[in-house]
């Protein structure tokens, strides 16, 4: 660990900026993407050839992302089916657990169901949130239309 702390009162930030500027050798960024005024990378300023190559990496990244998302969903559906088949033995024809069901299996099943409920609840919450936003947009659009027809 290197601690650069110095004793005494620190100078004001403005003074320190002037005092320390240029104290270390100037290094250049390695990224080929220029920065905008907010200091964020701005691909729109790249040369056309570089921008095209960059875009191909971005497209490939997005394709990989979409593929892994779909794979996860497929796995989830498959896992849900397997789970449904796997727990059949826990219940009798009336949907009740048999008297001799192993406690470990019941606890495991309870945990799994709780996990799935949590997952579904978060999905529902997200959908409701989206619905609220869509409704707001819809209401605003209808108001505009109503105003236009009045005129």
Partner 1 sequence: MAAPLFLLAPPRSYTSLVNAMIGQHPQAFGLPELCLFNVERLIDLWNGVEGENAERGAMARHGLMRAVAEIYCGEQSTATINMARAWASVREHWETGRVFRELVDKLDPLVAVEKSPSYTVAVPRMKALYRTFPEARFIHLVRHPIPQGKSVMAINNGAFTMRMGAFEIHEDFANLEPQIAWHDVNLNILEFLEGVPAGQQICVRGEDIMADPHAKLAEIARWLGLSDDDDAIEEMMHPERSPFACFGPLAAMFGNDPNFLSGPTFRPHTPKIPKLDSPLPWRSDGKGLYPEVISLAREFGYEH
Which residues bind to partner 1, rule: CB under 8 A?
1-8, 10-13, 16-17, 20-21, 23-24, 27-33, 35, 38-41, 43, 50, 53-54, 56-58, 61, 64-65, 68, 118, 121-122, 125
- Closest contact distance (angstroms) between CB of 90 and partner 1 is 27
Closest CB to partner 1 among 71 and 92? 71
First-last CA distance in the chain: 72
Closest CB to partner 1 among 49 and 88? 49
Closest CB to partner 1 among 46 and 90? 46
Closest CB to partner 1 among 6 and 104? 6
Token pair recorded at residue 54: 């960059």
Q: 29 to each of 33, 38, 41, 53, 113, how far by Cα in Å?
A: 9, 16, 11, 19, 50
- Closest contact distance (angstroms) between CB of 129 and partner 1 is 9
Closest CB to partner 1 among 82 and 121? 121
- Closest contact distance (angstroms) between CB of 51 and partner 1 is 10
- Closest contact distance (angstroms) between CB of 131 and partner 1 is 15
- Closest contact distance (angstroms) between CB of 135 and partner 1 is 17
Token pair recorded at residue 117: 């409920």
Phi-psi group of 7: left, alpha or beta (phi > 0 → left; psi -120 to 50 → alpha; rest → beta): beta
Backbone angles phi, psi at 135, to 5 degrees: -65, -40
Assess contact for 34 and 42: CB atoms under 8 A: yes
């Amino acid at each position: 660990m290197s601690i650069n702390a110095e004793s005494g009162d620190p100078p004001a930030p403005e003074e320190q900026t002037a005092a320390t500027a240029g104290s270390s050798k100037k290094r250049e960024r390695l990224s080929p993407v220029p920065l905008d005024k907010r200091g964020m990378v701005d691909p729109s300023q790249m040369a056309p050839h570089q921008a095209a190559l960059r875009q191909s990496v971005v497209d490939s990244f997005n394709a990989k992302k979409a593929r892994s998302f779909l794979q996860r969903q497929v796995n989830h559906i498959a896992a849900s089916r397997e789970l449904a088949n796997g727990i059949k033995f826990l219940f009798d024809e009336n949907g009740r657990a048999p008297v001799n069901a192993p406690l470990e299996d019941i606890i495991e099943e309870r945990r799994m169901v709780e996990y799935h409920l949590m997952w579904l609840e978060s999905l529902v919450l997200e959908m409701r949130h989206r619905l609220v936003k869509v409704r707001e947009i819809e209401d605003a659009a209808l108001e505009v239309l109503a105003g236009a027809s009045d005129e």
